[in-house]
């Protein structure tokens, strides 16, 4: 039976693992005539980089990450510093994931896949896994290893099996152990790296790509390669550990005015942008500590990455950025996403099953059942304590819940000393108790979700309606507070924090900076007046209809997105929030820029000041 064994450090404390964020800047490949502009972003050191402030070209904004890979960094260096350190975990029953994020054309596929001459993270990581397996098999006689792969793409919100291209959209399910599984997904056993190559290369050709104005061969889907390593003990108690490595090449966020997308490309782009927007919402919820209602289910991508963000995997995110000016706003958005992702904390555990030896026929049957990429954990004879829900997914237990849990534990204790038939009866009771727990948990989750939704709506409405006219100039800060109020209300009481507090010494990312224009007094009066009107309009809009469509790309815009984006700035932002695209597309930012410019040019006495918004609320 499967069990989750917490990973402890030397002092016996349960280990957590922060998402490691690396940023890779690709070399300049813009047209010759654009070269005079120079790059808009550059590295300052092994961890820091700076980007020009679009609100004031004389300023730059600095970011700090775990690693910064400059333009000259080789594929080997990226692998050694960012990926190699996490691969050994897979051989110890833990999960790990590497995902490439960034705008279209910034080098994600180059980083993950590479070319024949410059192989990327995927071939290097798989080779490393086979090398580690060989070493461990040589040094540890009692263990045997089996390696397998699955490969899928999420195209237009459909999960497609790249190893079996004729298959239809596959469902995503969660098993009783909270593992995300895809029934029907091909799982191919691998004996060596060349075996992997033979399956992977043709499957990669099945991935949907197309040419856009920004990338000759642009990925139109998110591709996820899963390498599964099962480590089985040859001797009793026949422990079995299952580790998975997810290697993810995300599709890039796209600004459709620049990609020139139309028709089917535009539809693909809408699906890509929406799933990346959900990814961003997931990161925001994790940072706000609202793990009870993290919107993983809002897109297939986030559902599949559930384990990598706020879950049990050791995760590395490689954010790819481009130096050309035409990518400026995409780079800016990607850096802000990377900056907030580095606060996410995962809780790794070892996935282990323990079993008595089974007869040949059963062994064969179980081997076949494990073919869909799932751990083979449906063994009947149990020699150890049964599996409990992982700490991450444990909700505060209601009295009824805990009594069932106690019963379950007591039964499992009894099982250790009982003869075979009794054990089987007890196992049945255990299974029933587990089902009861599951039902109770689902009910509880549902209630929690309802409660937090109600809190959110009530909090949002009262904050917006309760504002006096005289407070209009404070709009930016007030909505900031409103947003924070919402996240506090939605936070479940017993949830462990998943956000590391901001380090005092840390370079403030751009996200926490806002540049505002201070106009002359005459203009100021007029602006205040317009702000009042806009605030009133926005207040009414939010109260009447908490959900709107983006006028630009017609995707659904939620209340919290509006308030979040209003916190970033001035009057023009208030105006632009009415037509905001939830994918964070550059349209909004360019509109914002035009409005700020036109306001500033009307005043000769514009003074620019950098103000820092209040630090992120700590838990």
Ligand X SMILES: Nc1ncnc2c1ncn2[C@@H]1O[C@H](COP(=O)(O)OP(=O)(O)OP(=O)(O)O)[C@@H](O)[C@H]1O
Residues 319-358 vs ligand X: string with x where CB under 6 A? -x--------------------------------------
Q: How many CB atoms lie within 10 A of CB 431?
A: 12
- By CB atoms closer than 10 A (0-12, 13-18, 19+), residue 375 is buried
In the complex, minimum distance from the CB of residue 317 to ligand X, in angstroms, rounded to a whole number: 14
CB 244 within 8 A of CB 129: no
**Binding-site member from 17, 82, 95, 109 for ligand X (CB under 6 A):** 109
| Binder among 219, 241, 242, 433 for ligand X (CB under 6 A) | 219
CB–CB of 293/302 below 8 Å? Answer: no
Nearer to ligand X, 302 or 377 (CB): 302
Is 518 labeled as ligand-binding? no
Instruction: Indicate the residue among 182 and 223 with the shorter CB distance to ligand X.
Output: 223
Q: How far is the CB of 230 from ligand X (least distance, A)?
A: 31
Listed ranges 58-66, 102-110, 122-130, 552-560: which one lies at the site for ligand X (CB under 6 A): 102-110
Nearer to ligand X, 103 or 370 (CB): 103
Give min distance, CB of 591 to ligand X, in A: 24
Distance CA 77, CA 471 (A): 53
Q: Is 176 annotated as a binding residue?
A: no
* Beta bridge pairs of residue 241: 231, 352
Sign of the C-alpha dihedral, residues 200, 206, 211, 212?
A: negative
22/84 Cα distance (integer angstroms): 13
In whole angstroms, what is the distance from residue 79 CA to residue 431 CA?
44
* Residue whose entry in the numeric block shows the structure tokens 């997914």: 393
From the list 5-13, 180-188, 213-221, 561-569, the region that binds ligand X by CB under 6 A is 213-221
The answer to whether residues 181 and 373 touch, using CB atoms and an 8 Å cutoff, is yes
Distance between CA atoms of residues 514 and 339, nearest Å: 16
| 258 is an interface residue for ligand X by CB under 6 A | no
Q: Which among 39-47, 104-112, 121-129, 438-446 is the span making contact with ligand X, rule CB under 6 A?
A: 104-112
Q: Are 122 and 270 in contact (CB under 8 A)?
A: no
Residue 215 makes contact with ligand X by CB under 6 A: yes
Among the residue ranges 89-97, 101-109, 412-420, 568-576, the one whose residues contact ligand X (CB under 6 A): 101-109
CB nearer to ligand X: pick between 42 and 187:
42
Rounded Cα distance, 160 and 151, in Å = 9
* Tokens 């809190």, located at residue: 455
Q: Is 583 in the site for ligand X (CB under 6 A)?
A: no
Question: Is 107 marked within a binding site?
Answer: yes
Token output for 479: 């909505």
Is residue 218 involved in binding ligand X (CB under 6 A)?
A: yes
Is 26 a binding residue for ligand X by CB under 6 A? The answer is yes
Contact status: 569 vs ligand X (CB under 6 A): no
- Residue 377 near residue 1, CB atoms below 8 Å: yes
Minimum distance from residue 131 beta carbon to ligand X (Å) = 25
Q: DSSP for 401-463?
A: HHHHHHHHHHHHHHHTTS-HHHHHHHHHHHHHHHHHHHHHHHHHHHHHHHHHHHHHHHHHHHH
> Any contact of residue 104 with ligand X (CB under 6 A)?
yes
Whole-number minimum distance, CB 198 to ligand X, in Å?
23
Residue whose C-alpha is closest to residue 100's, from 88, 114, 90, 115: 114
Residue 27 touching ligand X (CB under 6 A): yes
Q: Does 252 bind ligand X (CB under 6 A)?
A: yes
Nearer to ligand X by Cβ, of 320 and 487: the residue is 320
Where does this chain touch ligand X (CB under 6 A) — which range of 26-34, 341-349, 496-504, 561-569? Answer: 26-34
Sole binder of ligand X in the list 43, 93, 105, 460 (CB under 6 A):
105
109 is in an annotated binding site: yes
Cis peptide before 385 (omega within 30 of 0): no
Which residue number, 108 or 265, has a Cβ lying nearer to ligand X?
Answer: 108
CB of 587 to ligand X, least distance (A): 19
- 43 scored as a contact of ligand X (CB under 6 A): no
Asked if 251 interacts with ligand X (CB under 6 A), we say yes
DSSP letters for 120-174 = -HHHHHHHHHHHHHHHHHHH-TTEEEEEEEEEEEEETTEEEETTSTT--PPP-EE
Binding part of the chain for ligand X, among 21-29, 263-271, 361-369, 485-493 by CB under 6 A, reads 21-29
> In terms of residues, how long is the chain?
619
* 303 in contact with ligand X (CB under 6 A): no
Give the binding site for ligand X (CB under 6 A).
26-27, 29, 102, 104-110, 215, 217-219, 251-252, 320
Binding residues: 102-109
Binding residues for ATP: 102-109
């Amino acid at each position: 039976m499967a069990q989750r064994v917490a990973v402890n450090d030397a002092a016996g404390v349960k280990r957590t693992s922060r998402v490691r964020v690396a940023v890779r800047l690709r070399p300049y490949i813009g047209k010759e005539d654009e070269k005079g502009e120079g790059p808009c972003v550059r590295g300052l050191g092994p961890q820091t980089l700076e980007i020009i402030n679009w609100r004031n070209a004389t300023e730059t904004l600095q970011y700090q990450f775990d690693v910064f890979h400059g333009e000259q960094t080789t594929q080997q260096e990226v692998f050694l510093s960012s990926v190699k350190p996490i691969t050994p975990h897979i051989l110890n029953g833990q999960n790990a994931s590497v995902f490439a994020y960034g705008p279209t054309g910034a080098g994600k596929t180059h980083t993950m896949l590479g070319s024949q001459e410059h192989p990327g993270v995927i071939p290097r990581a798989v080779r490393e896994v086979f090398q580690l397996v060989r070493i461990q098999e040589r040094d540890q006689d009692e263990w045997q290893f089996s390696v397998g792969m699955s490969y899928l793409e999420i195209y237009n919100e459909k999960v497609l099996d790249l190893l079996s291209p004729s298959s239809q959209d596959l469902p995503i399910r969660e098993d009783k152990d909270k593992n995300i599984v895809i029934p029907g997904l091909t799982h191919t056993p691998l004996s060596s790296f060349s075996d992997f190559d033979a399956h992977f290369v043709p499957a990669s050709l099945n991935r949907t790509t197309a040419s856009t104005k920004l990338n000759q061969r642009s990925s139109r889907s998110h591709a996820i390669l899963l390498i599964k390593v099962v480590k089985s003990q040859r001797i009793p108690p026949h422990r079995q550990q299952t580790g998975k490595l997810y290697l993810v090449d995300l599709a890039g966020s796209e600004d459709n005015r620049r990609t020139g997308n139309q028709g089917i490309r535009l539809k693909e782009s809408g699906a890509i942008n929406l799933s990346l927007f959900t990814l961003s919402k997931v990161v925001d919820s994790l940072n706000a500590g609202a793990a009870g209602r993290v919107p993983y289910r809002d897109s297939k991508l986030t559902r599949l990455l559930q384990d990598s963000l706020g879950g049990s995997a050791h995760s590395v995110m490689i954010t790819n950025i481009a130096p050309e000016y035409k990518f400026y706003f995409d780079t800016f958005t990607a850096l802000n996403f990377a900056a907030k992702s580095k606060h996410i904390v995962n809780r790794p555990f070892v996935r282990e099953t323990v079993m008595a030896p089974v007869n040949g026929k059963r062994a064969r049957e179980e081997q076949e059942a494990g073919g869909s990429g799932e751990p083979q954990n449906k063994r009947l004879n149990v020699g150890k304590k049964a599996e409990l829900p992982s700490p991450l997914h444990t909700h505060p237990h209601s009295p009824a819940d805990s009594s069932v849990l106690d019963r379950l534990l007591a039964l499992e204790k009894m099982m250790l000393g009982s003869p075979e038939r009794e054990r089987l009866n007890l196992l049945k009771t255990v299974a029933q108790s587990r089902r009861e727990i599951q039902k109770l948990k689902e009910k509880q989750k549902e209630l929690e979700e309802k409660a937090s939704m109600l809190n959110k709506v009530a909090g949002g409405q009262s904050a917006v309606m309760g504002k006096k006219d005289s407070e209009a100039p404070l709009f930016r800060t007030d909505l900031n507070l409103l947003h924070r109020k919402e996240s506090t209300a939605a936070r479940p009481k017993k949830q462990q924090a998943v956000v590391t507090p901001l380090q005092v010494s840390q370079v403030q990312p751009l996200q926490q900076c806002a540049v505002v224009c201070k106009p002359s007094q005459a203009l100021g009066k007029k602006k205040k007046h317009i702000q009042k009107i806009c605030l009133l309009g926005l207040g009414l809009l939010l109260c009447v209809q908490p959900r709107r469509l983006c006028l630009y790309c017609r995707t659904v815009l939620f209340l919290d997105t509006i308030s979040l984006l209003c916190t970033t700035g001035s009057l023009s932002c208030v105006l632009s929030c009415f037509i905001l695209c939830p994918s964070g597309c550059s349209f909004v930012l360019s509109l914002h820029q035009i409005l700020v410019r036109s306001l500033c040019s009307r005043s000769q006495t514009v003074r620019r000041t950098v103000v820092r918004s209040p630090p992120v609320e700590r838990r």
